[in-house]
Amino acid sequence: MRIGYTPEQEELRRELRSYFTKLMTPARAAALASGDGEMGRGNVYRETVAEMGKDGWLTLSWPKEFGGQARPPMDGLIFNDEAAIANVPVPFLTINSVAPTIMAFGTEEQKKFFLPKIASGDLHFAIGYSEPGAGTDLAALRTTAVRDGDDYVINGQKMWTSLIAYADYVWLAVRTNPEAKKHRGISMLIVPTNADGFSWTPVHTMAGVDTSATYYQDVRVPTSNLVGEENGGWKLVTNQLNHERVALVSAQPIIMALNGVREWAQNTKDVHGNRLI
């Protein structure tokens, strides 16, 4: 038995490779790598994503009822691989983890508002989960949301909120019932990044990868921004993370690094002209 790609999958790979080569011009690649931000200064990141949205690539595996192509998972993985090879800034968290969770748990109004804008590449999310005291044990989160009439009032802090500089909304896990068991008092809110009381600061890591910390001081959002049931947010967290882990995984960066090391080992010589290995 031979395990390999079908002719259709090989054609998809060739099509994507050609498309990404044209998309990632030297000027665009340089702009994305410039500056202090995670994806460069200015609008180049959002413009690149919007171009992919216009060309229909952001919804490859989405169901047709939400404007997608309903391609099989393998096609999605091929897309991930080719994007990684070309170093394309695909908003995987938004299109492959937040969007499917909205499809599964969102209201009809939320689906109608958010999904078309995500599909077009015009709307971006950042993830607000981890906190200074809640990382691996995410259910220990302490950021609170208290009902006040038709609003929730949010107070707290999140860490590792990547791509917040380019985000329109935060997909925010909050504690709405401090008396409940820790997995049962969590809710999911959608918070606009232009809300009063919201702020963020960059975090520069030793690995050279930038991220951010986000702060919520009496941030008000309407109760209509609740996704799913109040105090039922844990299943949304796990649903989103299940999609995220698959969406973010591509072996191509590892393969590319291995090939680079192999090429270096084969061609690099010491001062006497001998191969190092």
Residues carrying an active site annotation: 244
The token pair at 179 is 């008396």
State how far the alpha carbon of 29 is from the alpha carbons of 85, 148, 167, 194, 259, in Å: 13, 46, 20, 28, 22
Q: CA-CA distance, 173 to 208, in Å (whole number)?
A: 27
Question: Among candidates 247, 255, 254, 251, which has minimal Cα distance to 76?
Answer: 247
Q: Please, are residues 141 and 134 in contact by the beta-carbon 8 Å criterion?
A: yes
At residue 93, the 3 state secondary structure works out as helix
Q: Which amino acid is at 70?
A: A
Q: CA-CA distance, 87 to 262, in Å (whole number)?
A: 21
Q: CA-CA distance, 212 to 95, in Å (whole number)?
A: 21
At residue 171, the 3 state secondary structure works out as strand
Q: Which amino acid is at 243?
A: H
Number of residues assigned to the chain: 277
Q: Please, are residues 16 and 78 in contact by the beta-carbon 8 Å criterion?
A: yes
| Strand 125-128, strand 169-175: pairing | parallel
